Amino acid sequence: MKNILRLCLLLFGIGTLSAQEDSTKIAFVAYWWKGDTYHYKVTKSSQKFINDTLTGNSSSSYNATFKVIDSTAKSYTIKWAWTNAHLDNIDLPKEILDEGINDSLNAITYLTSETGEFQEILNWQDASKSFIKMLDNATAFTIKNKKIKDTIKFKSVINTFKNTYSTKQGIEQYVLKEIELMHFFMGYEFDINKNTGYEEQFPNLMGGKPLIANTTIKFYNIDRENGRCNIDKTSVINKDDVKQMMISNLIKMGIPEDKVNSELENATASISHNYTYDFYYNPGVLVTLDYRRIVEVKSKNKSNKKIESIKIDMLDD
């Protein structure tokens, strides 16, 4: 997605970093040293609504450490370590997920460019094995204790997640989304005198073509003396893409195609992503981030909405 984003940004006059200074622009550059360490609290929450009535509410949090463990002229190696494993992105009861957490991975090592742009997770295969093992433990616990009535459908859902977690893309963009969020702006230069609008692609992690979104970015509270700013970013995904993705994924999960098409024929679906950043663009360090993903499906007599949130706050030493 990042390479596609780079091309879109160039088309709208937003470039990669240049040597020339311009008072109308700000550049997000990593000026890190080996050993630099920052501590964060990450809070994740999920709310479900039916016809605007709250029907589900859960949250979890963990403390994490961002540490630069290597620095070269061309790259940085980062260790992102957390205090407890998390399966927050899986839509299953907490009791089941807790059973799956056993001897799990508690750190990710990843590589960035010399400007801090995320490149790849280095130990993604270890992460994949760890998360799949947790899912297997949770599945065995669920079936043994008869926590789910429809075990065939349950296994189908679990296998869908396992397929996602078996890929590098799935680990990078779904399991540890906070890393992607923290590095989104790194390596780019923006014109702060105008709101930026462009077309962005979001991956369909269940397979299929990417989802197209209209994205806008706004910069404010620019503090050049301290190299700090606030950012609002909003992405609204094309509604036709959302609906087609939902139909395709439900069919993959074993629901008959005629039933899916019948129930969703007159429904509308929407997905939006909203981000608010407080950021030291120099030296390239996140202070706070509030992220919300809102999914809503409306039919003639019913509406379902889910709000997923991630909040990242830097902790004082």
pLDDT digits (tens, 9 = 90+) for 260-295: 777 777 788 899 999 999 999 999 999 999 999 999
Give the model's pLDDT for residue 207. Answer: 67
What pLDDT score does 3 carry? Answer: 47
60 pLDDT higher than 80? yes
Ordered by where they begin, the domains of the chain are 31-314 (2.30.230)
Residue 249: its pLDDT value, please? 74
Instruction: List, in sequence order, the alpha helices (H) in 18-176.
Output: 94-100, 124-144, 151-165, 168-170
- Where do the DSSP E strands lie in the chain? 25-27, 37-50, 53-71, 75-82, 107-113, 118-121, 189-191, 196-202, 211-223, 228-237, 268-280, 285-298, 303-314
Say yes or no to pLDDT of 224 above 80.
Answer: yes
